[in-house]
Amino acid sequence: MHKENRSMIIYDVAVIGAGVSGASTAYQLAHYNLSTVLLEKCVDVCFGVSKANSGIIHGGFHHPVNTLKAKLEIRGNLMFDKLQYELGFPFRRNGILVVAFSEEQMATVQRLYEQGVANGVRNLEMCGHARLMQLEPKLNKEAVGGFFAPGGGTIEPYRYVFSLVESAVRNGVNLNCDFEVVSGSFADGCWRLAAADGREVRARYVVNAAGLYADRISRICGGEEFRIHPRKGEEYLLDRSSDARPERVIFPVPTRHSKGVLVIPTAEGTTMIGPTADPTDDKEDTATSSDHMQRIVSLVSRMVDGVSPRDIITSFAGLRPVLDGEDFYIALSEKVPQFVQVAGIQSPGLTASPAIGEYVKDLLKTGGLQLIEKREYDYELPRRHEVRHESLETLDRLHEENPAWTHLVCRCEKISEAEIVEAVRKGHRTLDGIKFYTRAGMGRCQGGFCSARIMEIVSRETGLPLSELTKNGGVSRLTVGRLGDRPVLL
């Protein structure tokens, strides 16, 4: 994916941040006769807020329609079918159930249902106990009632972002990773953005989609003063064989600051439980705790049957970039010219992201950017072969072409050597980048068997020595030496 920057170019637009908002914006801009550069401070795209997302496509009922959140969530939800058809990322419209476990909670359920109807969401269905159990037999039998939002679903967020960026790059957008913006200045109709390593990008317009660090980018560019308040959410992933896996996304009745602890059947077959919602001052705090794990397991056990701590294969934490007032902040800056703020994109930011890209594109037009659609645009990404989903006939054909297609590297998730090679050749050179692109290392053993082999393939394909390979860039080195002919992992 990486594209080297040619420093003398003056781009039309520089987008800072390659998470769901920045990637969606770059994807939209790629449809026009513009020169666009996407800047990401991490070693790969989707390594910030977006990678630790719950992967839910929300149903448009949690927020009133007079909020920007709700407007973009509802519009974004409707855009995913076409995007999935063209870009091929994992996505399931399996529906959302909001479930009450007491008569008192039914008042909130009724309010959310009515809010969804007022928002224009179609096919919402109020449900009694019998209908709930019909829709989701895994529910705890103490469920009183709730409602069903069939338009909700699940998505694999990193594959979604990778697909958006790949499409944007195929259609002319330049991508610069490891580009941490440390200064920005505007003069003579042009922004100068400098990276920590001394590289510089110039652009007429800037989009600040920097996630947790949008407040810092705004400050160093002379824009509005605001503060991002990180809110940590711990999540726990259950093995794909867990008896607790439901068919629908299960929501409890929400609280003031959180949609609650959920049960999420992920788009690729595992089950996620969580998240928590804890304020923190540390934008790098992604630790998890046994206390939170026990609390989440206890809460989820009251919602669905079959939950067991033995099924937990990994834990992770994400940080929501929360603003005072809780709504999205997407607007042309009133302090500096040709600068668009895209901040406070917390839940339902993933669902809203296709509409966020459209909204930012329209703001840029309002701000004076000329938009002329390209006569030729490559809408569809080439179909990816994934061994775990292929027929025996297709596997036979692939093996004839290249035996690496049937050489499994990750046994848990059934990922082949050829899939690892494809990921490397598309620019993913870290263990996490390979994992997010292919799912290698996401299964029961969490990379215990395949990590060393993946590293050898990356080293072979790139020429990089094993000692220079990292988990996710920076100082996250993976080896301390060799034992015989195998690398010794940290």
Q: Which amino acids are annotated catalytic?
A: 58
Provide φ and ψ at 430, rounded to 5°: -115, 160
For 378, residues 6+ apart whose C-beta sits below 8 A from its C-beta are 167, 170, 171
Given a contact cutoff of 8 angstroms between Cβ atoms, the answer to whether 94 and 154 are in contact is yes
Given a contact cutoff of 8 angstroms between Cβ atoms, the answer to whether 30 and 36 are in contact is yes
Given a contact cutoff of 8 angstroms between Cβ atoms, the answer to whether 79 and 354 are in contact is yes
b/e map 353-364, b = 16+ CB within 10 Å: bbbbbbbbbebb
Question: DSSP code of 385?
Answer: P
Given a contact cutoff of 8 angstroms between Cβ atoms, the answer to whether 152 and 62 are in contact is no
Provide φ and ψ at 215, rounded to 5°: -65, -40
Q: Which long-range contacts (CB under 8 A, 24 or more apart) does 112-119 make?
A: 112/61, 112/62, 112/147, 112/254, 113/61, 113/147, 115/61, 115/62, 115/63, 115/64, 116/59, 116/60, 116/61, 116/147, 116/149, 118/64, 118/65, 119/60, 119/61, 119/64, 119/65, 119/70, 119/74
Given a contact cutoff of 8 angstroms between Cβ atoms, the answer to whether 318 and 286 are in contact is yes
**CB-neighbour burial class of residue 326 (10 A; exposed 0-12, middle 13-18, buried 19+):** middle
Residue with tokens 């908002």: 21
Provide φ and ψ at 190, rounded to 5°: -145, 140
Distance of CA 70 to the CA centre of its chain: 19
Question: DSSP code of 410?
Answer: E
* Count of CA atoms in the C-beta half-sphere (13 A) of 146: 29
